[in-house]
Amino acid sequence: MRAMERASVERLILFGFGITLAVLLLISAIALNTAGSSGSAVIVASSVLLLAVLARLAVRIRRAIRVRLADEQALQELRQPLLKEGALKGAIFNSANFSSIATDAQGVIQIFNV
């Protein structure tokens, strides 16, 4: 996943969680307001809680993305020697100067190609 795509996905996730939490906090504020609590205090407390949850969520998402990128980079580094080895084997097998000899378990030659 490219950096721009990751950033877009991260923003969409944060936006979705933010909207969900805002709706839940609004519902709880309405319920508390009808119970006699101060509306402005509920809104301030809800906003602070929302920001704290979103900040924690952003940290978790960034950490998960960093771990995944590190894993992808490690896999890419492991693939490079294998790709080089495969290319070398292919060059050897496609070479006109290649001979093969196959023997059975007793060492008797079964196939000989020049």
Q: Which H or E run includes 5?
A: helix 3-34
Given a cut of 90, whether residue 100 has pLDDT beyond it is no
Over residues 10-16, mean pLDDT: 70
CA distance 52 to 68: 25
Task: Name the token pair of 20.
Answer: 């969900």
CA distance 41 to 12: 29
CA distance 104 to 93: 21
Given a cut of 80, whether residue 6 has pLDDT beyond it is no
Q: What digits encode the pLDDT tens for the residues 32-74?
A: 665 555 666 667 777 777 777 777 877 888 888 888 888 989 9
Given a contact cutoff of 8 angstroms between Cβ atoms, the answer to whether 25 and 48 are in contact is: no
